[in-house]
Amino acid sequence: MNLRQLQYFCEMAQGGSAVQAAQRLFVAPTAISMSVSQLESDLGGQLFDRSTRPMPLTPLGKFLLPRAQELLAQTRRLEGDARRVASARQGWLGVGFTRSVMLSVLPVAVRRFREAYPDVRLEMVELLAEHQPAQMESGKVHLGIARFIEPVPPPPGFSTCTLFEEPLLAALPLGIRADASAPLTLAELARYPFISYPRDPKTRYAAQVLAAAEQRGAPLTVQHEAMEIHTALGLVAAGLGVTLVGASVAPNARKDVEFHAVEDLDATTTVVTVMPDVGRHAFVDPFVALLQEATVQLGLAPSHGLAPAPTAVPAARPPAKRRRP
């Protein structure tokens, strides 16, 4: 199956015959018929009911048509984007991120980057920390934003830059505690069902959270596992249990969840950027500088800890050239 076969099939489905499709595509009707017949042979079934005119789609044809149309549309968009990059009218930057930073520094940095570089296409890819280096090696992303409980050395060929370190807060259903003003201890937290996240065979984050509590004598009982933080908080809001999140998550998280400090849990979580040591994309350093600025603006790191912005960066567009997202 190839794109030309799908194009001929879609045109034939729209016109109801090979003749109509040929007129629209300026090719011979036999080319249309042969291509669609080959596609049917490859798929192992008929796409059209040829007993009537115009030819209706078979169940297989009805299944294939919308998917083929979407694939062709994606191909056209990809071609246009690639041509703009090739002609230097538009650059691109791929950013892999763990979902929790979408509730703190990432939206601020993205807005400012788009203002400064309106012609740069941003590809935002949700990736757990353990998956980011491989995606950078493959070229899918150029930069990673990761979160860890314990210090994790970067893999060979990569370096990290710490954005901020913060305590863990307990996320609880509204009204679950009789006295919300009383200090919350690990022993009390351990009495509730725990919601663990993220559920992924490669991540160590969930296990590290549980280990931090167990090391302090209050093992947590996992009742539910969520794929990512938003789902975990949704389960908390539904009253199915409690979880632990970085403190920066709380201000922009759900309003039907309470967040409390855990007085005897001194474990912290650290948010870092992950970057390749060589062959670094030209827009990585400007984006990291904006992340650092957002960290200070949101009060997640002291201003004296802000690293200086790189000097060799692409020139920003003048304000008059800005485009709306």
Q: Where are the domains of the chain?
A: 3-86, 93-154+277-307, 164-269
Cα gap 273→287, rounded to integer Å: 10
> Could you tell me which residues are beta bridge partners of residue 169?
245, 261
* CA–CA gap between residue 4 and residue 317 (Å, rounded): 40
Q: Can 3-86 and 93-154+277-307 be said to share one CATH topology?
A: no
Return all residues near 308 (Cβ < 8 A) that are at least 6 apart. Answer: none
Cis peptide preceding 54, ω within 30 of 0:
yes
pLDDT at 304: 40
What is the CATH superfamily name and number for domain 164-269? Answer: Periplasmic binding protein-like II (3.40.190.10)
Q: What is the pLDDT of residue 63?
A: 93
List the CATH code of the domain at 3-86: 1.10.10.10
Superfamily of domain 93-154+277-307 in the CATH hierarchy:
Periplasmic binding protein-like II (3.40.190.10)
Any idea which residue has 């370096």 for tokens?
159
Tens-place pLDDT, residues 192-219: 999 999 999 888 899 999 999 999 889 9
Which positions of the chain have pLDDT values less than 70? 81, 83-90, 302-325
